[in-house]
Chains A and B, each alone.
Chain A
Amino acid sequence: MTTEIREALNAVQDSIAVPRVDEVRFQALVRSERRRRTGVRLVAGLVAAVVAGVGGTLLVTGVGDADRGTDVAGPPDGPGRSAPVPVSLGGRLAVVTPDGAVVGSGVRVQEVVGATAGGVVVVARDHHVRLVPVARSGGETTFGRPRDLAGVPVRSAHLDKQGLFLAFVDLDDTLHFREVGADTDYQSTSLDPGETVLGIDGGSYTGYSSSLGLVLHSREDGGQGGAELTRTQVGISFPADTAELADLTLAVGTSDGVELFDASPSAAPRFGGSLGGGVSSLAPRGDVVATATSSAQSSRGMSTGVWLLDAFSGEQLPVRDYDGGPALDIAWVDDDEFAVLTDADRAELWVCDATERTCGQRLVAAEGTLSLPTS
């Protein structure tokens, strides 16, 4: 007797009883989604990632650890306490735990690219992009042996907002796309002369060059197996500092604020001009942008703060309890939380909860250079 897969699966599909729509549950999900998008409290679906142990000899102060310094702002409480944050600290990869402790890896890095399920992707000092495995066991965080992800030196490396796909530019200015951990590319393309990659999503990417400005390269899949990249010049008002892609949204960060576009070949602007602060980061789902006042804006008299910007409506909502002054950088650490790095001699790391719309200070770096993931 033969069993044909398609026939079997179709039979299963036809046989399964379709439940009625749970209207109450569905409306609750819709309300939650709307609230989440606008930053109002949703569900505190945050799972504590308890990590312990301090590695290295980094001169930093955890906010919740009074034994290791004087920069104590009080016990850890409330928001922004659940996601560990990968950082570059003193030129080495480290993870800042929810309680403000620092676990150093000892791995020297040029930059921390971002987090994936299996660990943290970094560009090492030898220009190789590597995955540093991170594991938790018995309440302790341990780092595994770094694994080369590209096999060649890279000019730059980028993760998509979900941490699934890696893109890197080799020394011949070819942009390679592959799944994190895969040995082969699923796509590669030559960059335009002088082009710098700013963001990726799937096979699409944004690039900036002085000659062409900001260009969105949208991947369009054809029916005969062909995938084409459609190039669209994006009409921005100021030079782009960042140009991030996630889902339906292209968010361009400029010194004046955030300019939002459709992440499609039209690159249609959503709103006129820029919104929010001069430091920004698009959320992994592409629906919200976290923004903060930059030092340049602060010096022009703009009050400092952190806001959530709805990428579809343009609505801006303030985030409470942030007292870190002008910001230098922002990076999302999961779907609900983002980290803010302050622009000061003693850099402070704040972690904000987009659903609670509150922030908490997590770390004060007394020495060494602290920087956030770049993707």
Chain B
Amino acid sequence: MTTEITFAEFMAARWGPLYRTAYLLAGDRHDAEELLQSTLARTCVRWDSIRDKGAADAYVRQAMVRQVSRTWRNRGRETLVENLPDAGHPGGLDVRADHLVLWEAIRGLPPRMRAAVVLRYVEDLTEEATAHELGVSVGTVKSQTHHALRRLRAALPDLELVTAKEPS
């Protein structure tokens, strides 16, 4: 007899790793927390409808990725303000200087381009799996990744930027 994991158990076990993913996707601590909490709230309400609880992690991650990608659609309903809010800052990260500089540049990428980089190079997804996660074509993933790397290299000419796995 197998005992199905409860939502509370899932959240307790996966909050940390999912927050770290959310941070890379959102590029900002507060946005990451909001993104993850709202996604988990939706997941909580739908928990009984998710048959394969072992895939819940991927479900949440995909929901966050889609949410981040969707933000551009809702731009038309945003309220314009006179003063832009302060940009988030990555202070407090105990990482190498070149890693910090690179992360700053990655934070400046458009959300979906940043998501493609995160899925390919951190989550280690194939181009096909990344495309599915983003809800786009493989060609778009290739293009987004290619342009992301080109932008990063142009923005950081002093860094010799390499990838362990160049997108095919």
Contact = CB atoms under 8 A, between A and B. Distances in A.
Given A37-B45, A47-B79, A17 B15 contact: no
Interface stretch (A1-9, A53-61, A66-74): A1-9
Given A2-B162, A9-B24, A185 B137 contact: yes
Interface string A250-279: 000000000000101000000000000000
A356 B106 CA distance: 40
B136 interface: yes
B40 to A, nearest CB: 7
Contact of A16 (B23, B49, B70): B23
Interface in A9-28: 9-19, 21-22, 25-26
Q: How large is the interface on B (under 10, 10 to 19, 20 to 34, 35 or more residues)?
A: 35 or more
Contacts of A15: 93-95
B41 interface: yes
A9 B161 CA distance: 13
A332 interface: no
A248 B46 contact: yes
B32 to A, nearest CB: 8
Given A1-B98, A18-B20, A19-B33, A163 B122 contact: no
Interface string B67-104: 00110111111110000000000101111101110110
Interface in A125-157: 134, 136
Q: How large is the interface on A (under 10, 10 to 19, 20 to 34, 35 or more residues)?
A: 35 or more
A262 B51 CA distance: 11
Nearest to B127: A225
Nearest to B96: A11
Contact of A47 (B23, B51, B66, B77): B77
Interface stretch (A105-113, A176-184, A190-198): A176-184
B73 A116 contact: yes
Given A30-B45, A33-B45, A164-B73, A8 B98 contact: yes
B73 A163 contact: yes
Interface of B: 11, 15-16, 19-21, 23-24, 29, 33, 37-38, 40-42, 44-46, 48-49, 51, 66, 69-70, 72-79, 90, 92-96, 98-100, 102-103, 106, 117-118, 121-122, 126-129, 131-132, 135-140, 152, 156, 159-165
21 contacts: A2-B160, A6-B122, A6-B163, A6-B165, A9-B106, A12-B90, A12-B99, A13-B23, A14-B20, A16-B29, A18-B19, A22-B37, A47-B78, A117-B75, A162-B73, A179-B140, A184-B139, A186-B139, A221-B132, A226-B128, A227-B128
Given A6-B165, A32-B41, A184-B139, 16 more contacts: A3-B102, A5-B102, A5-B121, A5-B163, A7-B164, A8-B103, A13-B122, A18-B19, A19-B33, A29-B38, A30-B44, A117-B74, A162-B70, A163-B73, A164-B69, A186-B139
